[in-house]
Amino acid sequence: MTNALKYNRCDVAIIGAGPAGLAAAATLKKQGIEHVLVLDRESEAGGIPRHCGHPPFGIIEYARLMTGPSYAKRLVASAQKAGVDIALKTSVTKLGFGGILTIATPKGMGELKAKRVLLATGVRETPRSARLVSGDRMLGISTTGALQSMVYLKNLIPFRYPLVVGTQIGSFSALLTCKKAGIKPVAMIEEKSSPTISWPLHHASSLFGVPLFLNTRITNIIGKDRVEMVQVLDGKKNTREIVCDGVLFTGQFTPESTLARMSHLDLDYGTGSPVIDGFGRCSDPSYWAAGNLLQPVNIAFNCWREGRRTAGRIAQDLKGSLPLSIK
């Protein structure tokens, strides 16, 4: 790992040390780009997979079945072996014109000038407050990311019999985490008439023993010090109560696009992501974007693949061989 403040220039700066960012970094080095620097505000590189202590990861990338933490370590090792510099506990606070970045590290503030910048900042989950679910604040309410952090990093169990809300790919990861931790969800609910991803959540009941209720939404969380039950409303406007000791909100990921929103880059206001061309280049051609920032939430392999593909185009651009448009 490295201290970003010892540099004031680099060929490519990559913001985000997840699958897209690390795969892009390794690819750029392999294509002859001299100084590639990955910046991440976390204390450990690897992104979301670090919190997913279950398979399947790495089947295509590394031809083996891996857990999330093992996959994340392999991504980091591959980037470092290629000669990539990784600066942790480093936050980018401003995207300036022409690839000028303002950064903050434990050693202070600084400025970094990059010929090209790849935004690979990923996604964040929508918390309960943004979902407008009524009820008091109490113990037992979590998101997938918070649950995985508690289970895999802190060895904590926040509940035993939660209600799972949502049926996205992250919901499947939440069920796997529950299974590994001995947590037994009482039910899974989805507002729509079918699961957001048809497989494997359509078979959640048979795979995990968790009843799946469609056309159902949570309206109230009831409890004193911690969750005791929830009220849900089904498609026929019938209200029922489900006894549980927790609520696990899953899915509803949004792009982590705060930096882009505060910058001069054009945004797609439908998705909240930066506007890109067919190559992955933003409105300021010094900036590029890849991974879950553009299409939340995708599986790790797709982010890894997109990071590699975008890195190849950045390398072409730096060498002056990138076509004007995709044919």
Q: Tell me the pLDDT of the chain (327 aa) as tens digits.
A: 777 667 799 999 999 999 999 999 999 999 999 999 999 999 999 998 998 888 889 999 999 999 999 999 999 999 999 999 999 999 999 999 999 999 999 989 999 999 999 999 998 876 655 454 656 678 899 999 889 989 988 899 999 999 999 888 888 889 999 999 999 999 999 999 888 876 665 676 667 889 999 999 999 999 989 999 999 999 888 999 999 999 999 877 788 999 999 999 999 988 889 999 999 999 999 999 999 999 867 789 999 999 999 999 999 999 999 987 665
Residue labelled with tokens 């591959």: 78
List the structure tokens of 77: 């090792």
The verdict on whether omega for the bond into residue 69 sits within 30 degrees of 0, i.e. cis, is no
DSSP letter (8 states) at residue 226 = B
Domain edges within the chain: 4-124+254-319, 127-251
Query: Strands (DSSP E) along 126-238, which ranges?
Result: 134-135, 141-143, 162-165, 187-189, 212-213, 216-223, 227-234
Same fold, 4-124+254-319 and 127-251: yes
Closest residue by Cα to residue 263 from 251, 273, 248: 273
pLDDT of residue 198: 65
d(CA 257, CA 275): 11
Which helix or strand (DSSP H or E) is residue 239 part of? strand 239-243
| CATH fold group of domain 127-251 | FAD/NAD(P)-binding domain (3.50.50)
Asked if residues 79 and 71 have their Cβ atoms less than 8 Å apart, the reply is: no
Say whether 128 sits in a helix, a strand or coil: helix
pLDDT at 156: 93
pTM of the model: 0.87
How far from the centroid of its chain's Cα atoms is residue 294's Cα?
Answer: 11
How far is residue 228's CA from residue 90's CA, in Å, rounded to a whole number? 41
Q: What is the predicted pLDDT for the residue at 132? A: 45
pLDDT of 103 reads: 96
- Tell me which long-range contacts 62-70 makes (C-beta under 8 A, separation of at least 24): 68/300, 69/152
Q: For tokens 């390794």, what's the residue?
A: 26
Unique residue bearing structure tokens 């039950």: 229
CATH for 4-124+254-319 (3.60.15.10, 3.50.30.60, 3.50.50.60, 1.10.260.40):
3.50.50.60
**CA 35 – CA 113 distance, rounded (Å):** 12
Residue 43 CA neighbour count, 13 Å, CB half = 2
* CA 116 – CA 244 distance, rounded (Å): 50
